[in-house]
């Protein structure tokens, strides 16, 4: 079974086809990774890319400059922060030449692969043609890209606004919803992340992003329908190959957990907002919140309730879009809904700073009552890169790869839940995966931060980079470039198993 789609052999970047030679069906059993002796190190899959020698500032000088000249709010991860030097497809290399399998994709930003040859070539060509012009002039790249991107959206979602980030996209969506409806109040889900600008902080419902100053007037939160950690949940709630271990007594065709969470939304509507409101915003799967999935049918019922109040429905696709969930190109499609506004960023540019808002002509017309201008949104470089990303997703079969490798990876991680008491939940869809860690499966109390960090460090030392998230930092986030292979997945699971085993041994001492 192939894990990537058919690729055009006309690509001229040297090494591109060679890169994929080892992305063929594996003749080695995954068991060669999963059944290792206690002291045996899993073997990292091969990579034919040779990084350049690092010849820039010394490591200690980098730390000095960061401390003296960069924002103190910038955090680094790991006890000894990694000084990254180069990246290629699913791999990154540090200043000392060590190679890591990047399972976090630059915080879910690298969609088609680090320095993907097609995207790199498109950027280089546009760089030699024209870097920048604002949209008071015509340039072909934004028009070509607008037509290509909006063709991938259903229904009347055909009008594109280009931004520079996901926060900016959500900021614009809020403004747009309020102008169109003539109302002000917006509801988001607790645990959701929608940006850290002063405007979007009202939507973001994670306390560690709050600064203790007034923000987000008119923004309200409702209970997150988390079927693992939430008050209600069962064993058939999620659109995922892996369900929770909670008991479920629902009759066929009924989800009691969904009904309860919808009741909570109704209570929010009846107590926190006026009879008419501006919008409801939700990620199809929560990202920073820890890959939290809602009961099937929740968003569909929520959208209906919001529209009855005159509000618009906004889908935040910053992390779930562009084929990452595997079964569909957009995360909202897995919920059988069509939003009024869609926001996107991160994977849209494979690391290039860009974002977008797509809405209907009717909503867009209401926004034209005054001038709206964005100096850098939709610049020629961004549009050339974004277009190449769409081409790469299609030509490399990356949505299908997300479905196949992502499902395989989820099922393999789920086996660890059976073997380790501290693995409480494994969830997700495609290559958007969360592994929630607990003290034990009886209480489901979050695994302490110190323990999470030790496992995290062990994974890094053995060659994989993963993220963390969740309200208590208790969830490992696995959201790699969509070009990873089944062989990479076996390596990742073997390393994670080894890290968990080490942790159990440490705890037993």
Q: Examine residue 182 and state whether it is found in any structural domain, yes or no.
A: no
Q: Examine residue 111 and state whether it is found in any structural domain, yes or no.
A: yes
Is residue 281 helix, strand or coil?
A: strand
In whole angstroms, give the CA distance from residue 378 to residue 150: 14
Contacts of 88 (CB under 8 A, 6+ apart): 19, 47, 49, 51, 113, 114, 115
Computed on alpha carbons and rounded to an integer, the radius of gyration of the chain in Å comes to 23
Q: Examine residue 51 and state whether it is found in any structural domain, yes or no.
A: yes
Q: Examine residue 449 and state whether it is found in any structural domain, yes or no.
A: yes
Q: What is the pTM of this model?
A: 0.91
pLDDT of residue 39: 60
Is residue 95 helix, strand or coil?
A: coil
Q: Can you tell me the mean pLDDT for 473-493?
A: 98
CB 180 within 8 A of CB 312: yes
**Residue 56 in tokens:** 């820039």
Q: Can you tell me the mean pLDDT for 183-190?
A: 98
Burial class (CB in 10 A: 0-12, 13-18, 19+), 149: buried
Measured at the alpha carbon of residue 363, what is the angle toward residues 359 and 365, in degrees to the nearest 5?
115
**Domain range for 407:** 16-119+397-508
Q: Can you tell me the mean pLDDT for 341-361?
A: 98
CB 388 within 8 A of CB 141: no
Q: Examine residue 273 and state whether it is found in any structural domain, yes or no.
A: no
Q: Is the pLDDT of residue 347 over 50?
A: yes
CATH number assigned to the domain comprising residue 83: 3.90.1150.10
Q: What is the per-residue DSSP string for 51-67?
A: PPPP-SS-HHHHHHHHH
pLDDT tens-place string over residues 11-55: 333 333 333 333 333 322 333 333 455 566 789 999 999 999 999
pLDDT of residue 24: 31
In this predicted model, which residue has the larger pLDDT, 15 or 485?
A: 485
Q: Examine residue 491 and state whether it is found in any structural domain, yes or no.
A: yes
Average pLDDT, the chain: 91
Nearest of 188, 241, 260, 226 to residue 411 by alpha carbon: 241
Q: Give residue 135's pLDDT band: very low, low, confident or very high (50, 70, 90).
A: confident
pLDDT of residue 329: 98
CB 101 within 8 A of CB 465: yes
Measured in whole angstroms, the distance separating CA 479 from the mean position of its chain's CA atoms is 6
Q: Is the pLDDT of residue 6 over 60?
A: no
Torsional sign, CA 479, 485, 488, 490: positive
In whole angstroms, give the CA distance from residue 187 to residue 235: 28
Q: Examine residue 416 and state whether it is found in any structural domain, yes or no.
A: yes
Q: Examine residue 468 and state whether it is found in any structural domain, yes or no.
A: yes
Q: Is the pLDDT of residue 508 over 50?
A: yes
pLDDT of residue 364: 96
pLDDT tens-place string over residues 389-410: 999 999 999 999 999 999 999 9
Instruction: Look at 114-128, 217-231, 365-379 and tell me which has the smallest mean pLDDT.
Output: 365-379
Q: What is the per-residue DSSP string for 335-363?
A: GT---SEEEE-GGGTTTSS-EEEEE-HHH
CB 106 within 8 A of CB 480: no
**Count of domains forming the chain:** 1
pLDDT of residue 2: 30
pLDDT of residue 38: 54
Instruction: Look at 36-40, 62-66, 136-140 and tell me which has the smallest mean pLDDT.
Output: 36-40
pLDDT tens-place string over residues 145-183: 999 999 999 999 999 999 999 999 999 999 999 999 999
**Residue 368 in tokens:** 């034209």
Percentage of the chain modeled with pLDDT above 70: 92
pLDDT tens-place string over residues 210-262: 988 888 889 999 999 999 999 999 999 999 999 999 999 888 889 999 999 99
CB 377 within 8 A of CB 142: no
């Amino acid at each position: 079974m192939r894990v990537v789609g058919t690729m055009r052999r006309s690509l001229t970047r040297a090494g591109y086809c060679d890169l994929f030679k080892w992305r063929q069906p594996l003749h080695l059993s995954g068991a060669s990774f999963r059944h290792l002796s206690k002291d045996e190190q899993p073997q990292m899959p091969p990579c034919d890319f040779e990084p350049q020698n690092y010849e820039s500032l010394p490591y200690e000088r980098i730390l000095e400059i960061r401390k003296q000249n960069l924002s103190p709010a910038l955090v680094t991860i790991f006890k000894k922060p990694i000084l990254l030097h180069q990246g290629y497809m699913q791999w990154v290399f540090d200043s000392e030449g060590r190679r890591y399998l990047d399972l976090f994709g630059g915080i879910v930003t690298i969609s088609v692969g680090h320095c993907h040859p097609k995207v790199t070539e498109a950027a280089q060509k546009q760089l030699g043609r024209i870097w920048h012009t604002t949209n008071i002039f015509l340039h072909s790249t934004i028009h070509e890209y607008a037509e290509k991107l909006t063709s991938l959206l259903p229904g009347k979602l055909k009008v594109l606004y280009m931004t520079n980030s996901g926060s900016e996209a959500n900021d614009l969506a809020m403004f747009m919803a309020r102008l169109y409806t003539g109302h002000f109040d917006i509801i988001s889900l607790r645990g959701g992340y929608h940006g850290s600008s002063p405007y979007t902080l009202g939507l973001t419902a994670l306390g560690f992003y709050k600064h203790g100053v007034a923000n987000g007037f008119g923004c309200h939160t409702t209970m997150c329908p988390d079927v693992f950690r939430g008050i209600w949940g069962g064993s058939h709630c999620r659109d995922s190959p892996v369900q929770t271990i909670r008991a479920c007594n629902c009759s066929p065709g009924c989800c009691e957990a969904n009904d309860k969470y919808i009741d909570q939304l109704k209570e929010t509507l009846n107590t926190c907002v006026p009879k008419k409101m501006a919008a409801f915003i939700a990620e199809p799967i929560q990202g920073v919140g820890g890959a939290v999935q809602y009961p099937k049918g929740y968003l569909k019922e929520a959208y209906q309730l919001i529209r009855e109040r005159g509000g618009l429905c906004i889908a935040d696709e910053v992390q779930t879009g562009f084929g990452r969930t595997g079964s569909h190109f957009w995360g909202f499609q897995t919920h059988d809904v069509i939003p009024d506004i869609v926001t996107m960023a991160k994977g849209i540019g494979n690391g290039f700073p860009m974002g977008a808002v797509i809405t209907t002509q009717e909503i867009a017309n209401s926004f034209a009552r005054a001038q709206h201008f964005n100096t850098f949104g939709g610049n020629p470089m961004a549009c050339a890169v974004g277009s190449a990303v769409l081409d790469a997703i299609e030509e490399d079969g990356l949505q299908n790869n997300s479905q196949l490798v992502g499902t395989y990876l989820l099922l393999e991680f789920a086996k660890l839940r059976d073997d380790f008491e501290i693995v409480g939940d494994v969830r997700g869809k495609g290559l958007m995966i969360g592994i929630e860690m607990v003290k034990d499966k009886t209480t489901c109390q979050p695994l302490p931060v110190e323990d999470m960090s030790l496992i995290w460090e062990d994974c890094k030392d053995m060659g994989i980079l993963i993220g963390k998230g969740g309200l208590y930092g208790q969830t490992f986030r696995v959201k790699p470039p969509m070009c990873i292979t089944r062989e990479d997945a076996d390596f990742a699971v073997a390393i994670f198993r080894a890290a968990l085993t080490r942790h159990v041994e440490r705890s037993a001492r």
